[in-house]
Structure 1
Amino acid sequence: MFEFSKKKLNIPEIWVASFELYKQTLSKIWYLAFILIFTLLGCFNTVLKTHVSDQTLKHVQKPIFHLSPISVICYVIGMVIGLFLISVILHRMYNLVTDPKYSLQKSIYFVLSKYLIIFSCVLVVYIATVGGFLLFVVPGVFIGVLFMFSLFVVLFEDAGWLSAIKRSCKLVWGNWWRTFAVIIFPALILVVIQNVIVLIIGVHYIWINILVVSLVMSGLKPYFDAVLLVQFNDLKLREKQHS
């Protein structure tokens, strides 16, 4: 039976503990991960199809992008639903091991009640991270990792969006490289597996591609979520011991 550690863990120990959390909760959340990934990929595929002029692609080497109402609507729908499902998955995974009687319905209601704060928090983090990437890749990565646990603070510490961002910075500051090292390996594995699936199936069978990627990643992405939860717990322990 998995329990969040009460002592600081090194990086390999975090990966091992995350796998234990992943094994214990996968059967209860994989279908939520499938809905999440399928929705995001489906919406983004629709955005790309309406965003790029097919006629332009036939006549010139570089595609001409145009903004259409459908692409904007699909993008917004994908982000709103995706953020909601990500929040539910994290909240559900955490409560499966801390309070097994806490139902999925309660997690859904909780996320709905906090959604305005969640959306505001993630929107600010998104703008700051994208702004960092526009300046240069390194600032974008730095800001992204620094703000990474803002959503977790909203979900598990009942904070407002601004307090959550400040709290995430406080937790990660001084542990930035360590946090980056913890998450980069699982993240790269997910990216590699997804790209391998795309290469095997090909880009011409887009909906088959989306379905297969969604099925495979619904079994793998929860491990990355588990890594983030265990790392969040570890950062709080380190903060407590330093205070």
Structure 2
Amino acid sequence: MARQKGLIKLSGTDKRSGTVFVESKYGVHTRAQPKAGARKNDPVLKKQYSRNSSLNLLAADIKNAINLYAPHFPPTGMYHSLLSYFRKEPSAVRVLLLDELMDMEVHPKYAFSGICDDRACTVKFSNTRIVAELNLEQHAYRTDRCNCYFLEVVVLNWHSDANRCIHACKKTAWISMNDDLPLYCDLVFELAAKVTDHLVLLRCVRGFNNEADGTFPMQAMKVVAVGSMDKKAATLLKEKRAMKQQLRAMVTKKKKPAPEERVAMKKGKR
């Protein structure tokens, strides 16, 4: 029932008339009580509800795996951030959902480009292995707190008949910031049978005298590659990326400026 405040102010809901009394910064007003289950049969909501469990599982799986290799580094709201990325993709195909995370910073406040060249890693996929080619043209950025660093590649794989991912990582040895450049190495990950979808992350950790202090400004992690061994999924991924590239080209395409009108000067006196 509605509650009376003073002589004329009301708040709450009058169940007999279905009127809701509202007090807001815009003043006191009324509105109709929403009907129960008004959008219960909305097809868009039904489709979204049917995906919730799979999206929740995928987001939790990725967050837990990242937290295993970079303890405490992922921000508090990472799980909800992953869900917001996934909901941008209408398809339920897993590799298309994972592709929404491409170039995602694990912790946006501590971006990879702020401590190291994020183009240092090139990932190549084959039917039996994933090869992360590390090519260093420049060292991680030096401060008075660090004189060395290492790179770590984390691979998350999903089987065709399983919803949970399996993961692995490989690290380079500590690299001195005084070492001559360029440097390179290959980190090879052998694939188990029935592995289809992949998510690859690159992590950089800076330290002093080959020891990491564990602070957030000394590390960064981002998604550098997404792929699939399934032919149908790989085709869909290729088409999606081509469409994104076309849209990006349309947005960034510059229009030719209109010709500027100029008036020529005349010789002699007026």
TM-score by length of 2: 0.25
Higher strand share: 2
Question: Which fold has the larger relative contact order, with Cα–Cα distance below 8 Å and residues 6 or more apart in sequence?
Answer: 1
TM-score by length of 1: 0.27
